[in-house]
Amino acid sequence: MQNVDEDTITQIVLARHANAANPRLKQIITSVVQYLHGFARDIQLSEEEWFQGIQFLTEVGHITDDKRQEFILLSDTLGLSMLVTALNNRKPRGCTESTVFGPFFVEGAPVYENGADVGNGAKGEQCFVTGRVTGLHGEPVPDARVDVWQADSDGFYDVQYEDTERAYGRGTLRTLPDGTFNFRSITAESYPIPHDGPVGRMLTALGRHPWRPAHLHFMIDAPGYERLITHVFRSGDEYLDSDAVFGVRSSLIANWERHKAGTAPDGTVLDGPFGTLDFTFVLNRIDPGSGRIK
């Protein structure tokens, strides 16, 4: 029997994994064990601190459900989500950059025709969005699936409300033959991530705020191209340089033009101000012969 102490424990644990059948799993767990043990040694982790950490993770699990993913919030606010996104989405120059997925995407969002009101009654100032999807050389990408979702002017996504089953501020549409799409929604506003749980208490303890700059979420899928998950951020927002989840990239910042009451782009006459946004998304083509991304 080996004597287990602070000097031998790491190698003893690793030896127990020697016969792991999955080499990638073995590699990951080996690294996790080494880093965790190194971390504990480096800061001389106390038993009380270890127990507080276990309690924190337990609370993260308890508050997580089908409408709230506190583990994603934790990953986001520690910068891990953005790091993994960056590592796995290296693209040629000129392609639209990826950013964090976030915890509020919902499968089965309503399907809309171009020009429809994706806002579907969401609180906020009216906004008309025009976009186009192209390849790296400017070729239009027709019939691409475009998923869009956003928070309302109170800072909440539809799934955060308990008293409604109606989807709003989210939808799916397809690009036209020339690669364009357009829809009506509301102007994006900055909002705080959910901070009434353990992640929020962590941010407060660290002297950080929970705010995200105003943005729209997009996920675009097209045959022959790499999936794009990204945001478009509203220029001038006060939180662009301190996004709570580190998702901002300068290439994703765009101008929301504000207009006085009058005729909107779809021909309707509005009695209040409204916004417009225009943005081009450039996808990364996949070489079908080799399976490699060009």
Q: What is the pLDDT of residue 116?
A: 96
For residue 290, being part of any structural domain is answered with no
Question: If 0-12 CB within 10 Å is exposed, 13-18 middle and 19+ buried, where does residue 149 land?
Answer: buried
Residue 34 lies in a domain: yes
| Whether residue 120 is found in the same domain as residue 37 | no
- Would residue 163 count as lying in a domain? yes
Q: Indicate whether 166 pLDDT > 90.
A: no
For the stretch 22-51, pLDDT in tens is 999 999 999 999 999 999 999 999 999 999
Does 107 lie in the same domain as 203?
yes
* Pair (125, 268) in one structural domain: yes
Token match 């300068």: residue?
250
Cα 276 from Cα 5, distance rounded (Å): 64
Q: Taking a C-beta distance cutoff of 8 angstroms, is the pair 252, 228 a contact?
A: no
Same domain (yes/no): 80, 37: no
Instruction: Give me the helices (H) in the chain, please.
Output: 9-16, 23-43, 47-63, 70-77, 80-88, 198-205
What is the pLDDT at residue 288? 64
Angle in degrees, 0-180, between the axes of helices 198-205 and 70-77, rounded to the nearest 10: 20
Q: Are residues 141 and 20 in the same domain?
A: no
Examine the domain organization and report whether 81 and 40 are in the same domain. no
Q: Which structure tokens are listed for 185?
A: 């929604």
Contact between residue 37 and residue 29 where contact means Cβ atoms under 8 Å apart: no
For residue 291, the model assigns a pLDDT of 46
156 and 271 assigned to the same domain? yes
Residues 186 and 89 grouped into a single domain: yes
Based on the domain organization, do 113 and 258 belong to the same domain? Answer: yes
What would the pLDDT profile of 172-206 be if each residue is shown by its tens digit? Answer: 999 999 999 999 999 999 999 999 999 999 999 99
SS3 content of the chain, % helix, strand, coil (to 5): 25, 25, 50
Task: Examine the domain organization and report whether 192 and 113 are in the same domain.
Answer: yes
Which domain CATH number covers 271? Answer: 2.60.130.10
Chain Cα centroid distance, residue 105: 8
3-state SS, 176-225, equals CCCCEEEEEEECCCCEECCCCCHHHHHHHHCCCCCEECCEEEEEEECCCE
Q: Is the pLDDT of residue 290 over 70?
A: no
Number of domains present in the structure of the chain: 2
3 part of a folded domain: no
Neighbours of 274 (CB within 10 A): 22
pLDDT digits (tens, 9 = 90+) for 209-226: 999 999 999 999 999 999
Q: Give this prediction's pTM.
A: 0.89
Residues 127, 264: one domain? Answer: yes
- Give per-residue pLDDT as tens, 93-132: 999 999 999 888 989 999 999 999 999 999 999 999 999 9
Residue 230, pLDDT > 90, answer yes
At 52-77, the pLDDT tens digits run: 999 999 999 999 988 789 999 999 99
Same domain, 37 and 163: no
Q: Is residue 2 part of a domain?
A: no
pLDDT in tens, 127-164: 999 999 999 999 999 999 999 999 999 999 988 888 77
pLDDT band at 289 (very low <50, low <70, confident <90, very high): low
Is residue 210 situated within a structural domain? Answer: yes
Buried b (16+ CB within 10 A) or exposed e, 11-28: eebeeeeeeeeeeeeeee
pLDDT at 294: 45
pLDDT of 281 over the 90 cut: yes
Question: Which structural domain range is residue 91 located in?
Answer: 71-282
Under DSSP, the state recorded for 232 is E
